[in-house]
Amino acid sequence: MFFSRSAGHKYIDRGFITANDYRIGDFTLDDAYHTLDLSSIIAAGSVVCMLFIALKGDAGGLKFVVKKNGADNDYNVFSVFTQVANLSAFAFGIVAPDENGIIEYSGSVSGITAADMIVKGWLV
C-alpha cells in the first residue's frame, strides 16, 4: 500500500496484535449493511484505517464488504470473497471511517463459517 503523506498526517501501527478485534459472532450477516464502531480502537480524527479480514465459508462466492459509513453505493468498497468451500480467503484493505470512527459492513446471508477482522493501523 502506498500513501501520499499530507502535512500533519501520521500512520499509527498497532504493532504485534495477539487476537482478532472482531469474530463471526460480532457481525450480523444478512446481505444488508450494518454499522461497526471502531472508535474504541482507532484514534479520534482518523482519516483511514487499515483492515485485515479472513473469510471462510461452505461455498465459493461468499462475500464480506466494508465501506465508509453513509456511502450510498457499492463502488468504493473493500471486499473479500471466498474462492472455494472450506478454504479461507484473506484480504488487506483501507476504509475511511466517518468522524465518529464508524464504518459499514455487509456479509453473505448464509454459508459464512468464519469471519475475522483485525484493525492493523490508522492514519491521523
CATH number for the domain spanning 86: value is 2.60.120
> Which of residues 4 and 31 earns the better pLDDT score?
31
Asked if residue 95 has pLDDT above 90, the reply is yes
Cα–Cα distances (Å) from 4 to 10, 15, 124, in that order, read 11, 21, 13
Count structural domains, the chain: 1
pLDDT in tens, 36-85: 999 999 999 999 999 999 999 999 999 999 999 999 988 999 999 999 99
Mean per-residue pLDDT, 82-91: 97
Residue 8 confidence (pLDDT) = 74
98 within some domain: yes
10 within some domain: no
- Phi-psi region for residue 52, left (φ > 0), alpha (ψ -120 to 50) or beta? beta
The span from the CA of 18 to the CA of 4, in Å, is 29
71 within some domain: yes
Asked if residue 4 has pLDDT above 90, the reply is no
Residue owning grid cell 450510498: 72
* Domain boundaries, position 98: 20-123
